[in-house]
């Protein structure tokens, strides 16, 4: 007997992947705009309670990509647990750890958030708790072949320096000097070790590296960072929000004070645009896998 729901999901997934990148997106040839657009649909299916369809669609959309973000695996793992598919939940959770998910740091949030809020955002279904815990106990062994501890520590040292110079009373020229020093060191590390993706340095440290890149406001219009950011996006290491935040920040904080490109920042001003301008913005957002604003 034909499973109609599975046919519909597979057909939808195929269409999403075939549409790929739109002409003029700046990401031609990359499977990631389609992947990110499709993962929004996976999340919508989870939110609607159609877990089975979300699992089917996820299996379709990961086929063309080499690197699946750790938190995407974590999200789908939690969804599988809610459907009592514990073996599948454990499999996806293991893949999330292999991609650099630092689960012990997530669990540390429970006391601060409270059990109810924590379970809503990060928890697994009770029925699968033993299988998930068994995988969690293997975290070190799962991540050991991939982690570069020296690279991770070097980035953490830079991030602590970044934080130390962002307190009250720090002169602007000192902040600019530290940001310039940090980015020079980080770019040298990237040249030596590759982009600091979560599989290599862990999810938290990859985010700290991103903050240092974000703070490089002297790089007008991202002339220096653009090739690095584009390659990171093409490899799946940097998502559409990461690209959009840096691009819009440079335009807002740069000497030309330009309007947002993706309207990731200053979304409120989007409503004042003309119909044609809104279409252009949403086309640009769609080209990297961001949802339209309307």
pLDDT digits (tens, 9 = 90+) for 67-99: 999 999 999 999 999 999 999 999 999 999 999
Q: What does the pLDDT look like over 185-212, one tens digit per residue?
A: 999 999 999 999 999 999 999 999 999 9
What is the per-residue pLDDT for 108? 94
Please tell me the pTM assigned to this model.
Answer: 0.88
CATH number given to 4-143: 1.25.40
SS3 at position 266:
coil
Q: Copy the structure tokens of residue 39.
A: 């993962």
Give the sign of the dihedral formed by CA 174, CA 238, CA 106, CA 109: positive
SS3 at position 76:
helix
Domain boundaries along the sequence of the chain: 4-143, 149-288
What is the per-residue pLDDT for 27? 57
CB 230 within 8 A of CB 242: no
Q: How far apart, in whole angstroms, are the C-alpha atoms of residue 97 and residue 141?
A: 10
What is the per-residue pLDDT for 145? 93
Q: What does the pLDDT look like over 249-287, one tens digit per residue?
A: 999 887 788 899 999 988 889 999 999 999 999 999 999
Q: How confident is the model at residue 28 (pLDDT cuts 50, 70, 90)?
A: low
What is the per-residue pLDDT for 277? 95
Q: How far apart, in whole angstroms, are the C-alpha atoms of residue 110 and residue 118?
A: 6
């Amino acid at each position: 007997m034909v499973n109609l729901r599975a046919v519909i999901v597979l057909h939808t997934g195929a269409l999403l992947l075939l549409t790929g990148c739109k002409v003029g997106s700046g990401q031609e040839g990359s499977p990631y705009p389609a992947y990110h657009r499709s993962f929004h649909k996976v999340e919508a299916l989870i939110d609607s309670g159609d877990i089975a369809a979300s699992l089917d669609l996820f299996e379709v959309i990961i086929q063309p990509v080499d690197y699946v973000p750790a938190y995407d695996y974590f999200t789908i793992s939690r969804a599988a647990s809610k459907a009592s598919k514990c073996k599948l939940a454990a499999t996806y959770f293991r893949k999330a750890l292999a991609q650099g998910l630092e689960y012990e740091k997530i669990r540390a949030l429970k006391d601060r958030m409270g059990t109810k809020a924590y379970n809503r955002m990060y928890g697994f279904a009770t029925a699968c708790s033993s299988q998930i815990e068994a995988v969690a106990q293997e975290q070190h062994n799962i991540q050991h072949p991939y982690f570069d501890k020296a690279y991770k520590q070097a980035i953490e040292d830079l991030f602590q320096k970044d934080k130390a110079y962002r307190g009250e009373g720090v002169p602007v020229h000192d902040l600019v000097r530290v940001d310039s020093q940090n980015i020079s060191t980080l770019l040298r590390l990237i040249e030596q070790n590759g982009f600091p993706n979560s599989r290599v340095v862990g999810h938290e440290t990859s985010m700290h590296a991103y903050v240092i890149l974000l703070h490089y406001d002297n790089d007008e219009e991202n002339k220096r960072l653009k090739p690095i950011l584009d390659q990171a996006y093409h490899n799946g290491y940097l998502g559409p929000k990461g690209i959009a935040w840096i691009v819009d920040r440079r335009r807002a904080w740069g000497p030309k004070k330009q309007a947002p490109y993706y309207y990731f920042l200053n979304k409120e001003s989007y409503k004042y645009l003309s119909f044609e301008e809104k279409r252009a913005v949403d086309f640009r957002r769609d080209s990297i896998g961001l949802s339209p604003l309307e």
